[in-house]
Chain A
């Protein structure tokens, strides 16, 4: 590791291990894409390097557009590791039950604006669930984990973000989900424009109808 500091694992994902560390008073997280012994070494290295680079690029694009996400402090390509700002916050998923209605409305609206800005930057997150949205003490929102994100203007990919967000509210109470999505759309629409928001919602409905949204994609090819 580049930073001489003790680290504590906070998340183990499918391809990466996320750890927290403190270095000279600076709180950081590292996202290390771990080698997969089943892949041939050259291929493994290439895949991990490309994904690390891709994620760093996306984050820097989003930072420039003012989408709140952890800033990249350092990229260690030899280790396929990104060092990022640590965000002192809680996953939105864990907050939904306890917050008053007014606060939820404000959060949802603000998230709508943020996701709208991300989409205007031509980025689809790819895994936009309430576990990948953090809320800090001041109630500010951050989007994290861009491992599956793509640069695209494809309506379908953008709509999948909205669809996944809605689906991830599954565990929350029905009325909360309804209030959340209504306000999310207000914020989203105010950022991307009414016309585009309507197009996206039409796509979301279509995705929902399709169940597992595959048949349609297959026809495209």
Chain B
């Protein structure tokens, strides 16, 4: 069996990305265009317009960068979900068109699993308990019997969303602004700390932080208290999941994996349990095409393709609904 090459399309939220990866664990291209709204959060329809405008360019650039012709591809992967419907539809449409016109298998990648798999590949760990933290997702998971099982997750908004919205409403902008601002603070103000077993909740925390700011507390101190609380909650639930799963590796993936302070805290917790911490490299932390391409390679090797007629997007697709058959194959 020769080297398999897969092109992967990411299009779940603000980023439209095209990556190319191979079964020899090579990333040949990773081209990403991110929609930045003039103000406020992402509007799904505006992001989708951005994506459809840039899609042809991104595909062309990725192929050029990889130095291959479309004929050499062995499969087309795309994020089937979870994500924002209008954005997902753009990526799915491009992927179907490519797969049909080239006559290649279509690979329906779960976006969350792609974050995990690019993390396992680039950070080099085998069987970790995973903290997946980003603007739209917060969950603690690990592999068991054919699937990534969810040990814990947020009951309302994502950790990244909590920090982003706070930053935007406070006028300093989304992450990493709140964390940078927190470094100039130092006075701790108690905010709702909601850990329920291995689940967390952030919406009350966000409201309380905004109230504290309105109440005249220094922005630096609110940022400090908020980030410390969010990261402590995540670290505590991760600690429980580590004990529960009996694993000895921790992997941090998703946009918030870039946070220095969160990394420090998790390192400190891991030392208590003789566990090793792995972090996805910054260039693969946020949404990107390469992670879809690489996970597409795994899907291809495990035979997880899909017919075009069945390739309807899945905006609420949970990672424990997706099979991860390659793990049984030792991949």
Contact = CB atoms under 8 A, between A and B. Distances in A.
Interface stretch (A41-49, A62-70, A169-177, A193-201): A41-49
A36 B197 contact: no
A212 B232 contact: no
Interface in B183-233: 188, 190, 193, 196-197, 203, 225, 228-229, 232
**Which 3 A-B residue pairs are closest in the complex by CB-CB distance?**
A38-B268, A42-B188, A221-B156
Contacts of B266: 38
Interface stretch (B27-35, B54-62, B234-242): B234-242
B197 A218 contact: no
Contacts of B320: 212
A2 interface: no
Interface string B240-284: 100100000000000000000000011011001000000000000
A212 B197 contact: no
Interface in A22-43: 36-40, 42-43
B150 interface: yes
A89 interface: no
Given A39-B232, A46-B188, A47-B193, 4 more contacts: A36-B269, A38-B269, A39-B236, A43-B225
A1 interface: no
A55 to B, nearest CB: 14
B153 interface: yes
A217 B239 CA distance: 24
B331 interface: no
Interface residues of A, number: 22
B155 A38 contact: no
Contact of B232 (A43, A214, A215): A43
A50 B318 CA distance: 34
B240 A14 contact: yes
Contacts of B316: 215
Interface in A164-221: 212, 214-215, 217-218, 221
Contacts of B228: 39-40, 43
A46 B192 CA distance: 11
A16 to B, nearest CB: 12
Contacts of A91: none
Contact of A38 (B190, B197, B240, B265): B265
A38 B232 contact: yes
Interface of A is mostly: loop
Nearest to B156: A221
11 contacts: A14-B239, A14-B243, A15-B236, A37-B269, A38-B266, A39-B228, A39-B235, A212-B150, A212-B320, A214-B155, A221-B157
Nearest to A211: B320
B259 to A, nearest CB: 14
Contacts of A50: 193
Given A14-B239, A40-B188, A214 B153 contact: yes
A148 interface: yes
B203 A40 contact: no
A126 B197 contact: yes
A127 interface: yes
B308 to A, nearest CB: 28
A175 B316 CA distance: 38
Contacts of B188: 40, 42-43, 46
Contacts of B235: 36, 38-39
Given A37-B272, A212-B320, A43 B229 contact: yes
A143 B37 CA distance: 54
Given A14-B243, A148-B196, A148-B197, A218 B155 contact: yes
Nearest to B187: A42
A36 B197 CA distance: 16
B156 A218 contact: yes
A36 B157 CA distance: 25
Nearest to B189: A42
Nearest to A214: B153
Given A218-B156, A221-B155, A36 B196 contact: no
Contacts of B196: 126, 148
A221 B203 contact: yes
A126 B153 CA distance: 16
Contacts of B190: 43, 46
